[in-house]
Each structure stands twice: as structure tokens, then as C-alpha cells.
Amino acid sequence: MDDFRTKCLERALLVGTFSAIPHPVAVEVMAQSQPDFICIDWEHAQIGRERIEDLVRAADVHSVTAMVRVPGHAPEAIAAVLDAGAGGVLVPRVSTAEQARAAVSATRYPPIGSRGVGPGRAAGYGYRIPDYLAKANETLVLAIQVETAEGLANIEDIAAVEGVDLIFIGPGDLSVSIDAMGPAGKDKLDRAITTITSAALHAGRAVGIFRPSPADVGRWRRAGISFFALASDTMFLGAAVLDSLDAARKAGSSS
């Protein structure tokens, strides 16, 4: 089994980030910091399908696993990123067990699923299809994102679906969906995150979550979450520029 998927399933601490800048240079810069993974955000960023393979390749140069968050549930999108060589897929807005089973089917080859065989980069452009088929089901990570009130209500059924490796919590959309935005909704959101985490762990699934900063990673790690997507390249860029400009202005005004 691939080392990255093994670590996911064994709930080792994994800390990575989202990639939203649609250029391989940005991926390489992040990869040189050696995150445990980079999740290329096809859902929310200005990244087109034709760019995915270049971004995955840029992560591969530095031996960092590239996952891709696809825009929806379409099997064609899931197949496209896996054919490009991604080490895993993050499927957003999974709110029912049926949707979770469909994600498993789209990610795995028969007899487990229904993914089609294609001569993409992952299979050596057709020259290593047998080798890729022999290992793909055992090495690719399937993460499904629970981020709706419906998903919260159905979490036990979703977590019970065989073939799901990791249940990823999207606090932003979840807070909107359950009316728990802002400081006033913090306790309600925390309870929802705890409910999802407990159900997933009880079913034997690893749990992941997005965090905008490392401030409470320790707290959620103690709760059983092991997979952390920390901010994004754009968020890191903006924060670093802001901090540096503020520091320069303070230094200049005090001289």
C-alpha cells in the first residue's frame, strides 16, 4: 500500500495546504517546504482541467503527494485528476451515503468500483496500464467532504460506506448550512465538528479538516482529527505580504 494512504488510514498526523494559484511555480515553492500533501483546488480556484496535470507534476518533482479537490461529483472529473497522476481525490458536498458510494465507484477500478481505464499520465500514457491497475485501488486516497446540514444529519450512514478512506470536514460551508457563522455560532459549529469526527472514527475512517491557521490544530488533533489542510498558497502569500509591509512601516516610522 502506498505510504501516503497508509499514513492516512493509520491516522498519522498529516499537515498540508490547498493550492489555488494556477501555476506550477506556486506548487513547487510550496512543495519545497515539504508539506505532507498539497490539495489542488479545482472546485474554488481559477484552475482549469488542462492545468491539473502540470500542477500534479510540479508536486511530484519534490516528492509531495498531490490530491485534487474536484468541482463536484461527476465521475469524469474524478477520473481526469486520477489519470493525471494525483495521489488522491477530495470530493466536496457529500451529504448522503448514496453520494459517498458513487465517489467510491468513480475512484476505484472494478471489481470495487467502475472507474474506466485510460492511457493517462498515471498509467505511463498507456505504457504501464497493467502496473497501474494492479496498485491503483490500494494506493489512491478517497476523501469525501462533509459540509452541509444534510451531511451532518446523515453522518453515521456516510461514515459506514466501505471504500471511503477519509472524511474531511469543511467548517466554512458547514457553518453556513447549520446557521453557525461567526463568534456566536462557534459552540454550535464545534459540536457539529465533534459529531462528525466521532461518527467517522467509530466507523474506522480517518478524519480531516480545513483550518485557516495552526492555532487550534492541537485541540482537534486530541479530538481524533489527523489530517489538516492548513490555509492555502493565496492565504499564506497575503498574510506574509501584510506582515512584512506592517513590519517595514513600523520600522520606518520609528527611525
Nearest to 193 by CA among 179, 174, 211: 174
pLDDT of residue 169: 98
pLDDT tens per residue, range 43-102: 999 999 999 999 999 999 999 999 999 999 999 999 999 999 999 999 999 999 999 999
> Could you give the percent of the chain with pLDDT greater than 90?
98
Q: In what helix (H) or strand (E) does residue 241 lie, and over which residues does it extend?
A: helix 233-253
Confidence bin at 241 (pLDDT 50/70/90): very high
Candidates 157, 154, 193; CA nearest to 172 is 193
Q: Which of 23, 44, 73, 202 is catalytic?
A: 44
Q: Tens digit of pLDDT for each residue in 103-123?
A: 999 999 999 999 999 999 999
Domain locations along the chain: 3-253
Q: Is residue 22 within 8 Å of residue 47, measured between CB atoms?
A: yes
Please say if 73 is a catalytic residue.
no
What confidence tier does 223 reach under pLDDT thresholds 50, 70, 90?
very high
Dist CA 135 CA 87 (whole Å)? 12
What pLDDT does 2 receive?
64
Q: In whole angstroms, what is the distance from residue 228 CA to residue 39 CA?
A: 11
pLDDT of 213 above 70:
yes
Single pTM value for the model? 0.96
> How much is the average pLDDT of 164-168?
98
Q: How many residues does the chain have?
A: 255
CB-side neighbour CA atoms (13 Å) of 101: 6
Answer whether residue 1 shows pLDDT above 80.
no
Summarize the confidence of residues 159-168 as an average pLDDT: 98
Give the count of beta carbons closer than 10 Å to the beta carbon of residue 32: 11
CATH architecture of 3-253: Alpha-Beta Barrel (3.20)
Q: Tens of pLDDT along 80-90?
A: 999 999 999 99
241, amino acid identity = V
- 3 state DSSP class of 117: coil
Q: Which residues contact residue 47 at a Cβ distance below 8 angstroms, ignoring those fewer than 6 apart?
A: 20, 22, 40, 41, 55
